[in-house]
Structures are given as structure tokens and as C-alpha cells.
């Protein structure tokens, strides 16, 4: 059908694949281009030969409120493969780790007084059920929390969270970001049977069966408009023409791929700020946390060389991983941080002494194998009145659309909102691609 539009999707992350799924169902010819050698994007995983499940490169999970992600899985007919264990989460305070994942735990958390708890409950109820994010984005979270939650709660709970996420930028983040975290997050955390990579591979196979072409190990080099209509995309093996294109890359990469964008839109992309991430995954011969804790939230001031320690196999059974005990050591960092230049062994030497602070019996010979993953684009930084900075899904170049984690604001980055922004971009495309092209 020569009049059927051919749409390119750049990026085979979950958002890009969700967009391709909707485009194909609408009758379009769709090709996904992915620079990596596997689908999944930042949610992709890896697998040892003796593991039954994969492990995510950057720790991922779903919340029970992730309606977009869980809705897509339901559409695909795989809801029976979603698991929602209830892991144990702890926070470092007063020299030790303490649970803070329930109202009862909060009552015994060091430094929290009963008036603090009452104040926390009342303000949180206001944020979750009464307020709107639009009214909050003009305030810095740092100032708003100090005023309404109080200095004690701010210093012991909120400030470490902000500093951990945003480092030196923590005082620039607006309150709508915090509202979004309190609004939707749940204590039960979900995953897919076999790991996130198992879901991504199944999804990719479904797309291929439906007629979507997925080209892996194919980085896009350049995008430019054709003289009359359509787009030319330069690939390693030559150029190809498309009716339209949806890019799900980072803003920085989008700017490099499309230097002919008008200055206002291009400068808007380049002005968006974000944090990178460095994550080391360790396979240990025995359990690290004797208490069975899953997630350790660690303030920067505590002197650990990472923000979070996640013992994956206190959430999922070690038997899924051939008896290995899987540990994540991760941090959000500015792109110029030295961690991005340190080798895997150099970082391991920095991290191992901290593991002994978790369990004094830890010994380096517990470590069977390690993996190191880095990304420059992990956590967007939402500034005051950030909604004014969000790039439009439709770029000024006809037929070119952009959907990224920087546009899910006020929500936090994650697969749920990757699905939402990808599908929302498709709805925009369906309403704007000329009718004469449609099947």
C-alpha cells in the first residue's frame, strides 16, 4: 500500500515500543531503530548462563499505581506474569538503619516526635488528595517543606532525599516533583516473571509478529526534513526516507541529531538539566543483609560512597539467579563526576568497605562477579515553573515528534510514564499526519 505512512521510532525502550505498538495498530508501517544490541533501553537487563531470570542494569520496579504500564501489560495478555512482593525498606539515621515504610515504623523512627508524625500525616494528606501540582511548581521544594513539614522532618527525611537525587541542584527542584512522588508511590513493588528484559523481549517479539521492524545496533546519525514533506534519516548503512518520526532519546541527543531545528526549540532542549547515574551490580556468594532488607536509603552525609544499596535477592529469590545474591550500589551524579571516569575495579575498591558497614562479616571473597553500568541521562531536574520549559511533543520540523523522560513532568522518570508519554505522542501524531497518507 504505497499511501501507508512509514513511521520511524528512535529508541527501543519501553516507551518507544509502546508507541510502535499503537502506530502499528493504527495501520502504519513502523520501523524502530535502536543503537544498543538489545531492546529495553534503561530498563534492559543482562543474564548469566546459570540464571533463570535476568537482572536489570539500573534497578527497576513498578508501583501498584502504575496504571499505564500495568494497563499495557493487560492489553498484551500478560498480567499473570506480574509479581508484587512486599520488600523491606530502611533509612539510615542516627548511626543505623531503620524501617520507614509504614505509619507504625514512622512512630519509632529516630528523631521523629509525635507532633512530627501528626504534621507529616496532615501535610501529606493535603498533598495527596487536595492540592494540585500546578499550584506547587512555583515553589522550591526545599523552602516549601521547611515551612509546612517543619525543620525536623525536613532535616531527617526530606533533605537527604533531595540531596541524594539531585546533588548540588537539590535546592533548585520545585515542589511539584515531591508532590508527584507522594501522590502515586506504593510500598509494594512489582516486577515481571523472568525480569524486565523478559518483558521487553516478549514485547519486541509481539511487535515483530505484528509487522514492526526492529533494527538493533543501528544508531541514528542525522535527521533532516525533505524539501516537500517527510524526513530523511541518515543511518550507518545509508539514508532512508519516512513520512514521520518519533524520537524517544534524551534531549541532548535529540539536539545533536537535528541541528536544523529552530533556535528556540533547540535551545530549549539544550537548557534542560539532568543527573546521570552510575550503578554497580555485584553477585555475592552469600546474603549481605542479615535482616533481609531490600532497599537501603543512605544520606550523602552518612559517608557512604553511594546513594542506595539494593539487595535484589531480598526481593526476589536467589534461586532465580543460580543461588547468587544480587546487590546494587547506585548513585545519581552530575555528568562531570569522577565516577564516570573510574574503572570498574576502582569503583569496586571504593564500594567494598561500605558493604562491611552493612554487614561487619562481609569479606571481599564474597564477591563472585561485578558489572558496572553508566548513563549520562537518568534523572531530569525540574526547576521552578518547569512546565514552561517542557518541549512540545511536536517539534517545529513537520513530521518530527519528540517524547522523553524530560516531558513526563511533574511525574518522575520510569517505565510507567515512558509508556504514557510514548502513547500520548502517538495520539498527537494520529491527529496531525495528513489524512491522505492514512490507510
Domains and CATH numbers, the chain: 6-82+193-272+385-437 (3.50.50.60), 102-184 (no CATH)
For the ranges 72-76, 125-129, 165-169, the maximum mean pLDDT occurs at: 72-76
Reported as type and span, the H/E element at residue 428 is helix 415-432
59-68, 179-188, 366-375, 429-438: lowest mean pLDDT where?
429-438
Of 21, 40, 124, 42, nearest to 377 (Cα)? 42
How far, in Å, CA of 268 to CA of 250, rounded? 13
Q: Is 82 helix (H, G, I), strand (E, B) or coil?
A: strand
d(CA 141, CA 160): 13
| DSSP code, position 126 | I
- Give the pLDDT band (50/70/90) at residue 435: very low
Per-residue pLDDT of 232-268, as tens digits, reads: 999 999 999 999 999 999 999 999 999 999 999 999 9
Burial 291-302 (b: 16+ CB within 10 A, else e): eebbbbbbbeee
Confidence band (pLDDT; 50, 70, 90) for 121? confident
The β-bridge relationship of strands 29-33 and 6-10 is: parallel
For residues 197-202, give the mean pLDDT.
Answer: 98
Alpha carbon 365 to its chain centroid, in Å, reads: 32
> Could you tell me the pLDDT band of residue 2, with boundaries at 50, 70 and 90?
low
Tell me: pLDDT of 437 over 60: no
pLDDT at 319: 97
- What was the pLDDT predicted at 96? 87
Cα–Cα distance between 314 and 392 in angstroms, integer?
41
The mean pLDDT value for 399-416 works out to 94
pLDDT, tens digit (0-9, with 9 covering 90-100), for 307-358:
999 999 999 999 999 999 999 999 999 988 999 999 999 999 999 999 999 9
pLDDT at 439: 42
Amino acid at each position: 500500500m504505497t499511501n501507508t505512512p512509514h513511521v520511524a521510532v528512535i529508541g527501543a525502550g519501553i516507551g518507544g515500543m509502546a508507541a510502535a505498538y499503537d502506530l502499528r495498530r493504527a495501520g502504519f508501517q513502523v520501523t524502530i531503530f535502536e543503537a544498543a544490541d538489545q531492546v529495553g533501553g534503561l530498563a534492559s537487563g543482562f543474564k548469566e548462563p546459570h540464571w533463570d531470570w535476568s537482572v536489570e542494569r539500573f534497578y527497576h520496579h513498578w508501583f501498584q499505581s502504575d496504571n499505564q504500564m500495568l494497563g499495557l501489560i493487560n492489553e498484551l495478555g500478560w498480567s499473570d506474569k506480574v509479581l508484587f512482593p512486599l520488600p523491606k525498606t530502611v533509612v539510615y539515621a542516627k548511626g543505623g538503619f531503620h524501617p520507614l515504610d509504614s505509619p507504625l515504623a514512622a512512630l519509632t523512627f529516630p528523631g521523629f516526635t509525635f507532633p512530627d508524625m501528626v504534621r507529616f500525616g496532615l501535610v501529606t494528606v493535603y498533598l495527596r488528595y487536595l492540592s494540585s501540582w500546578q499550584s506547587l511548581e512555583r515553589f522550591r521544594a526545599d523552602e516549601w517543606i521547611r515551612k509546612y513539614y517543619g525543620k525536623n522532618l525536613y532535616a531527617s527525611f526530606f533533605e537527604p532525599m533531595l540531596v541524594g537525587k539531585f546533588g548540588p541542584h537539590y535546592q533548585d527542584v520545585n515542589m511539584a516533583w515531591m508532590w508527584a512522588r507522594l501522590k502515586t508511590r506504593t510500598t509494594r513493588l512489582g516486577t515481571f516473571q523472568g525480569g524486565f528484559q523478559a518483558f521487553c523481549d516478549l514485547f519486541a517479539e509481539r511487535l515483530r509478529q505484528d509487522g514492526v521492524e526492529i533494527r538493533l545496533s543501528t544508531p541514528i546519525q542525522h535527521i533532516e526534513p525533505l524539501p516537500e514533506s517527510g524526513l530523511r534519516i541518515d543511518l550507518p548503512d545509508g539514508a532512508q526516507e519516512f513520512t514521520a518520526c518519533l524520537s524517544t532519546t534524551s534531549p541532548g541527543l535529540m539536539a545533536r541529531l537535528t541541528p536544523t531545528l529552530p533556535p528556540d526549540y533547540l535551545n530549549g532542549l539544550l537548557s534542560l538539566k539532568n543527573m546521570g547515574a552510575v550503578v554497580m551490580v555485584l553477585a555475592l556468594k552469600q546474603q549481605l543483609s542479615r535482616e533481609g532488607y531490600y532497599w537501603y536509603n543512605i544520606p550523602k552525609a552518612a559517608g557512604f560512597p553511594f546513594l542506595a544499596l539494593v539487595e535484589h535477592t531480598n526481593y526476589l529469590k536467589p534461586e532465580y539467579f543460580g543461588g547468587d545474591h544480587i546487590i546494587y550500589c547506585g548513585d545519581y551524579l552530575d555528568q562531570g563526576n569522577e565516577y564516570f571516569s573510574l574503572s570498574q575495579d576502582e569503583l569496586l575498591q571504593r564500594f567494598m568497605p561500605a558493604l562491611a558497614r552493612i554487614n561487619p562479616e562481609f569479606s571481599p571473597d564474597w564477591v563472585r562477579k561485578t558489572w558496572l553500568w553508566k548513563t549520562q541521562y537518568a534523572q531530569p531536574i525540574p526547576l521552578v515553573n518547569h512546565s514552561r520549559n517542557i518541549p512540545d511533543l511536536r517539534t517545529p520540523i513537520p513530521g518530527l515528534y519528540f517524547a522523553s523522560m524530560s516531558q513526563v513532568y511533574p511525574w518522575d522518570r520510569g517505565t510507567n510514564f515512558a509508556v504514557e508519554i510514548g502513547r500520548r505522542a502517538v495520539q498527537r501524531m494520529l491527529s496531525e499526519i495528513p489524512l491522505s497518507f492514512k490507510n
